[in-house]
Chains A and B, each alone.
Chain A
Amino acid sequence: MINYIQIINQLFEIQTKVKESCTSANFERNFNRLFSLFEEEGYFVQDPTGEKYSETRTDCEASITGQLDSKLRITRTIKPIIYHRKDGDVRLLQKAVVIAENN
């Protein structure tokens, strides 16, 4: 069986590296296409970078940096959130590994 989660994680890592090297515009279309292919198989990938973080978010495993504040935001995503959808049923396959810090 194809290990979709491992492939998606690798793809996400490549995308992150490409973004860091400031050449992401050249590859954006290809990444969108690849993630869309996974969506056709029911795998939905979510990058929570920039989103609010709170203790109710069980879709992320967070390392919290800096002084604790009530307003936390995700500043770095090491692994993305992966959901699987089938026949209207949604299941969390992978929690994101993130770093959250004060707003």
Chain B
Amino acid sequence: MKPVNFGIDLGTTNSLIAKYDGGKVQVFKNSIGQKETLASVVAYRPQRVLVGDKAREYLTKDPVNVFGNFKRKMGTDEKYYVVNIDDNVTPIQLSALVLKELKNFVYTGETPQACVITIPASFDTMQSNATLKAGQEAGFKDIFLLQEPIAASLAFFNESSSSKKDGYWLVYDFGGGTFDVALVHATEQELKVIDHEGNNFLGGADFDFAIIETIIVPEIVRQTGITDFEDQLRVKYGKYEKLYYELAYYAEEAKKELSQTNSVVIDFTAEFSDKKYVFSIPITRQEIETLFLPIINETIGLLKKVMENNQLEPNDVNQIVLVGGSTLVPQVREQLSQQTTIPLNHSTDPTTAIVVGAAYYAANKYYDSPQIEQQVEEIASKIPSQIEQIKPDLKIKTSYNRSSRDKEEVLLVFCEGAYENKFLRVIRSDGGFDTGFVPLRAKKTEFLPLLPSVTNLFTLHVYDNNHEEIKTLTQKLSITHGKYTVGGQPLPHDITIEVDDVENKTTRLEAIFERNSLLPQKRTLYREISKTIKKGSKDALIINILEGDKNARPSSNLTIGCIKITGKDLATDLVKGSDIEIQLHITDSRILNTTVFLVMTQQEFKNVFSVSEKKISLDRLRDQYNQLESELTETIRQFQYNQDDVWEIQANALLEDLQSVKERLFKIKEGDKSDEKYIVAQKIMRVSQASDKLGGNERISMLVEEYFGQKERTREAISTSDFQREEMHKKIQKIEASETSFIRSKNVSFIENKIRQLHDLHWDALCNTTSFLITQYIQWRELPPEFYKDYSAAKSLIKMADGSLEKEQYADFRKQVFSLTHLMVITDHRFNKDFKGTGIG
């Protein structure tokens, strides 16, 4: 015997499924849209069957094929004729479809074999038996029925801390479209429904209609003068049908908002007789309370009727249990409390109370588990490929493009074997697409919509004639949008922009379009200006677009477009920190269009470059030369230190080669028409690329090893530091986040740059460690005057630091030592003193 554990609220408008597990109840959500509720609506659309919210959208438009509210017809001999399938369906069949769809909500992989289904207190034997039959048709082997008010009471009893449970309870169930009230009697042994009343056409939607009719419509009539507007608004397929749906949405939103605040404004525009009107309608909570009162009074009247029929006074009832979304309206609670004087219980979510109670009930119900069958099923779900061979009666093959640039892609499904009366269903993993149940054919086509620039994952499910999933035939499909396909031209290299790394007085590349992206491509970059440029000055902003490896240093890449905006081009001064927008568009023919917008000056600069036509900025070239020269010098120093003689000779040769163009480069005048700057640029690029290849894979392995060693040391230093530990942790995590990409890049300068960042962070960690700082300070204190820019200022700082040290005021001491370091003459060979940068941060 196994506990049932699954509870289902099979509602008139919405249904839910939940499971009791280890003392708690979990309400399952639909994988599509992540909603707990499933609309109890079935649509027989051309080519497919839909169950749920999508079906509801067609309810009023296609009434001969779409069915809702069939719960009211359970236990009758009424049948619905479906035009699209030319056949009749019964309320039992429709309910079974809803129950089967709810089973799909159970993402845990198990298939519920038994369940508790809730029914209204008013259901007679015929209606109850019809519900049982629907459960059986849905594939449940054992079904237990439970009255809705009992389920709601159970949920409140189990989740409420109140100790008094014996006696009378009222369950007030006010949903979106129906109202029910039930009198429940509880004893130690049992819960029993004594009496009930209800109205199948009274619900929260009436509140929304009241707002439209009483507040919005009169305002529209007042402004437009259309006296018969209200009548026309109600006309099916009338000219205001679109506006009606909009108003219904606004009214519902206003109702929700007024549950939290005292006033809202509904604002919208609408056209009447070709004239546009702007409406701004304020609504207060007081106003809607006047409108809602008659509706609420009707529900309270039914509640009082139940009490009178059973000769009960308010004191005889323990509490009123609130169920249904409309009980969230504050006025409902206030009026109930005032008019009945009975305490209210709203300790459980009113929208899920019934299903939660059903799951609690299910935890204490047991069924005979066909264990062997279940074990076989469990094993089958784990080894689908083998089972596929055991079930050769149906084979499914799919054909589709794995990558696409279109908005949708065709999926071809080929079936071999017994495909009759079976269905397929394709769902996109993000929840934005669901085909519904589509009858299988020997060959079937479906169009799969794709989200841009991501890998779209779909799951193809196959169902038998009972809508039971054949899990062994499930397939995963993956289509990448926006990447390489045979149909278009891919980019052979990364397209990048050079931006400033102000902290390290250098520049770096940032990818705009990555290699293998398909042309055409468009993107807008938003950056800040990294230096102030005065109006009329020679200082410039340089937008340098390059082609090559995004991980390499800028000088290793080929400049394909360069825009120079000098102070003379500016309408006003351009201040550091102001915004710049750079829009880049590369066409199929690889023509690069660049539009630069300076937000501060409100100026736009447009340029068109052909990739065959090189553009070079002399300033940038000189910066790049200086950067490469200092990096090569540093590399040589490292090779000397590590005694890598062969690499040292090669690096020296490269440095010499580079320096051979130095004089020429710095002699070139702005506006020079000769080929000189192109020749020099070519040389710099070649040396830069050769520098990255120095030492080959062996050097890369050594650098990777050095990186991990440095990371370990830095982590250790951070963990023992006394200040700013959290900030430094964040910094090291940021470096680690890009670890895979820069190690994979096998690019020397990229890995070296990361090692340098770790070195700097390591130094920061040490400087934030008091013991280390004291040791360093003792050395710095003794340095001769030439080591300081301003020795007298240094001396006064030393005096203050000595005082702090003596008093053990380490926070002050740290600040003073930091100030002292700013006075020191430090020559960092890494930094390029003449660094001008691009001006883009």
Give A contacts to B, CB under 8 Å. Answer: 17, 20, 29, 32-33, 36-37, 55-59, 61-68, 70, 75-76, 78, 81, 83, 85, 88, 90-92, 95, 97, 99, 101
Contacts and interface: CB of A to CB of B under 8 A. Distances in A.
B790 interface: no
Which 6 pairs, one residue from A and one from B, show the smallest C-beta to C-beta distance?
A59-B432, A63-B245, A92-B431, A68-B61, A90-B430, A65-B241
A85 B454 contact: yes
Nearest to B438: A56
Contacts of A65: 237, 241-242, 245
A86 B246 CA distance: 33
A6 to B, nearest CB: 12
A78 B432 contact: no
A62 to B, nearest CB: 5
B692 interface: no
Nearest to A97: B249
Interface centre among A37, A59, A81, A99 (most CB of B within 10 A): A59
Given A58-B53, A92-B432, 18 more contacts: A17-B269, A20-B276, A32-B524, A33-B526, A55-B48, A55-B55, A56-B434, A58-B33, A59-B431, A61-B57, A62-B57, A64-B61, A70-B46, A83-B430, A83-B451, A90-B454, A92-B34, A92-B430
B80 interface: no
A58 B524 contact: no
B581 interface: yes
Contact of A55 (B33, B246, B436, B454): B436
Interface in B24-75: 32-34, 43, 45-46, 48, 50, 53-55, 57-58, 61-62
B57 A55 contact: yes
B353 to A, nearest CB: 25
Nearest to B62: A68
Given A17-B269, A63-B245, A65-B245, A55 B432 contact: no
A57 B430 CA distance: 12
A64 B58 contact: yes
Interface string B234-245: 000100011001
B433 interface: yes
Contacts of A62: 57
Given A91-B430, A92-B432, A61 B62 contact: no
Given A64-B61, A76-B242, A97-B249, A59 B433 contact: yes
B243 to A, nearest CB: 9
10 contacts: A32-B524, A36-B526, A58-B32, A58-B33, A58-B432, A59-B431, A64-B58, A68-B62, A91-B431, A92-B431
A44 to B, nearest CB: 8
B209 interface: no
Contacts of B54: 55-56, 58
B430 A56 contact: no
A81 B428 CA distance: 15
B455 interface: yes
Interface centre among B54, B55, B524 (most CB of A within 10 A): B54
A46 B48 CA distance: 27
Contacts of B454: 85, 88, 90
Contacts of A68: 58, 61-62
A85 B455 CA distance: 11
Contacts of A66: 237, 241
A55 B430 contact: no
Contacts of B474: none
A88 B267 CA distance: 38
Interface string B248-289: 110000000000000000010100000010000000000000
B635 interface: no
B633 interface: no
Nearest to B431: A92
Contact of B524 (A36, A55, A56, A101): A36
Given A17-B269, A56-B436, A29 B581 contact: yes
A67 B237 contact: yes
B157 interface: no
Interface of B: 32-34, 43, 45-46, 48, 50, 53-55, 57-58, 61-62, 237, 241-242, 245-246, 248-249, 267, 269, 276, 429-436, 449, 451, 454-456, 524, 526, 581, 597
A88 B449 CA distance: 18
Given A29-B597, A55-B48, A99 B242 contact: yes
B526 A56 contact: no
Nearest to B435: A56
A62 B432 CA distance: 13
A58 B48 contact: no
B437 to A, nearest CB: 12
A33 B430 CA distance: 25
Contact of B57 (A32, A63, A75, A78): A63
Nearest to B426: A56
A66 B341 CA distance: 48
A90 B57 contact: no
Given A36-B524, A58-B431, A67-B237, A75 B242 contact: yes
B601 to A, nearest CB: 14
Given A17-B269, A58-B432, A33 B246 contact: no
Contacts of A75: 242
A30 B45 CA distance: 43
A58 B241 CA distance: 23
B430 A78 contact: no
Interface centre among B237, B242, B435 (most CB of A within 10 A): B242
Contact of B433 (A36, A57, A63, A67): A57
Nearest to A79: B249
B43 A55 contact: yes
B43 A95 contact: no
Nearest to B276: A20
Contacts of B237: 65-67
Contacts of B53: 58, 61
Contacts of B431: 58-59, 91-92
B339 to A, nearest CB: 35
B104 to A, nearest CB: 13
B245 A99 contact: yes
A65 B239 CA distance: 10
A64 B245 CA distance: 9
A1 B456 CA distance: 29
B451 A90 contact: yes
Contacts of A67: 61, 237
Contacts of A37: 526
Interface centre among B55, B237, B245, B435 (most CB of A within 10 A): B245
A99 B240 CA distance: 12
Interface centre among A57, A58, A63, A78 (most CB of B within 10 A): A58
A64 B57 contact: yes
Contacts of B248: 63
A56 B434 CA distance: 5
A10 to B, nearest CB: 12
A99 B50 contact: no
A78 B433 CA distance: 20
Contacts of B429: 90
